[in-house]
Amino acid sequence: MPVIESAKKQMRQSLKKRERNTPVRTELKSVFKKALLLIKEAKFEEAEKFLTKAYSVIDTAAKKNLIHRNNAARKKSRLAKTLATAKGK
């Protein structure tokens, strides 16, 4: 446990940030997995509709600095590329 006041304050702040960030991070992971699952199961219509929600969640995470904007762009690009490749087969 921290002894110094500033360390105590930093601990309180980090706990609050953690509580705020955890739901967004969890949703980001689950949405990404669900999008890949839809593509894998060849449900392309549903996957295309779901991509807009996935993009929204990814952008939100980037806006809140949970992931870097380049990481967000890479995730969106990979989802789109995976869908396009699966459709082409």
- Give residue 75's identity as a one-letter amino acid code: K
Query: Would you say residue 5 lies in a domain?
Result: no
| Region 20-32 average pLDDT | 97
Q: How many domains does the chain have?
A: 1
Query: Would you say residue 45 lies in a domain?
Result: yes
Query: Would you say residue 37 lies in a domain?
Result: yes
Report the pLDDT value the prediction gives residue 53, as an integer from 0 to 100. Answer: 96
CATH of the domain at 41: 1.20.58.110
Do 62 and 71 touch, CB atoms closer than 8 A? yes
Report the pLDDT value the prediction gives residue 88, as an integer from 0 to 100. Answer: 85
Domain span including residue 57: 25-88
Query: Would you say residue 3 lies in a domain?
Result: no
pTM of the complete model: 0.86
Report the pLDDT value the prediction gives residue 69, as an integer from 0 to 100. Answer: 97
Find the angle CA(27)-CA(81)-CA(68) to the nearest 5 degrees. 45
Confidence of residue 19 (pLDDT cuts 50, 70, 90): very high
